[in-house]
Amino acid sequence: MNSAEMLKAMERLIKIFGAPRRIITDRGTAFTSDTFKRFCTERQTHRANEQVERINKVVMPALLKEAGDLEKWINVLTNVQLSLNATVHRSLGRQKCSLGIKSYH
């Protein structure tokens, strides 16, 4: 995905969720470009990449398995995200998606 495609996707997400305070990315060219840096500066969004490479080791194989071709990743991203959020996380002992839900047992 090049910078223009990524920024178009970001604009769609911003319309739905609002502008993020922080964007965590890898060091791919779409995120290291001057265009992306301007995009973040104009929106006063902090850029970071500390956590991305580790999670990519989980997400990339899941996207490839679901899409069959990494070029089609955007078509399956929501399903992969839901699956990962519903998986019981070893260190948490529960699903990530349940962290914001209060239990009244």
For 61-83, the pLDDT digits (tens) are 888 898 988 788 888 888 888 88
pLDDT the model gives residue 17: 87
State mean pLDDT over 53-62.
Answer: 82
pTM here?
A: 0.48
Cα–Cα distance between 105 and 98 in angstroms, integer?
14
CATH of the domain at 26: 3.30.420.10
pLDDT the model gives residue 18: 87
> By C-alpha distance, which of 2, 53, 6 is closest to 27?
53
* CA 84 to chain CA mean position, Å: 12
2 shares its domain with 36:
yes
For 1-51, the pLDDT digits (tens) are 788 898 998 899 889 888 888 888 888 888 888 998 888 888 888 777 667
User: In which domain, by residue range, is 60 found?
Assistant: 51-89
42 shares its domain with 55:
no
Number of domains in the chain: 2
15 shares its domain with 38:
yes
Residue 94 lies in a domain: no
Residue 16 lies in a domain: yes
Residue 102 lies in a domain: no
- 96 pLDDT tier (thresholds 50, 70, 90): low
Q: To which H or E segment does residue 22 belong?
A: strand 22-24
Fill in the amino acid letter for 49.
N
Residue 101 lies in a domain: no
